[in-house]
Amino acid sequence: MSTPEVPRRVRVTSPRTSAARRMAINTGTREIDEQTRVGEVYMHSLIQSQLRLALAVIAGAALTLGSLPLLFLLVPATRTFSVFGLPLPWLLLGIAVYPVVYVAARIYVRNAERIETEFTEFVGRK
């Protein structure tokens, strides 16, 4: 009985080991990670975009929901109008508010994701 042959070790190397190394390119993410002035500008831009979006959505929702009490004040017939035996103000302020808030939240999330995607693509290109 003979002993099985042990496979011989082979050293594998890259054919480009002697090639000149590429210089590292400063990307936007590197600027942000190293907290350089350019990285601060990038982050400030992202935060400003997010803040603008949040304020726009809040203002739109507040304007929509805030106009309901104004409607009841300026149009007295809306205070006494009933739908299926329920007063219109109760229906609008108690039920119709939730779809408005839901739509505002969906708009915010969709646009916030778009802003973040655009920012990630922009920073990755630099």
Domain count, the chain: 1
In the DSSP assignment, the letter for residue 18 is T
9-24, pLDDT tens digit by residue? 888 777 776 666 665 5
Supply 84's token pair.
């299926």
pLDDT of residue 26: 56
- The answer to the question of residue 43 being in a domain is yes
Distance between CA atoms of 96 and 88, rounded to whole angstroms?
A: 10
At 47, the amino acid letter reads I
pLDDT of residue 19: 61
24-36, pLDDT tens digit by residue? 555 777 777 777 8
pLDDT of residue 63: 92
- The answer to the question of residue 111 being in a domain is yes
pLDDT of residue 17: 63
- The answer to the question of residue 84 being in a domain is yes
Range of the domain at 56: 28-125
55-114, pLDDT tens digit by residue? 999 999 899 888 988 888 898 888 888 888 888 888 888 888 899 899 999 999 999 999
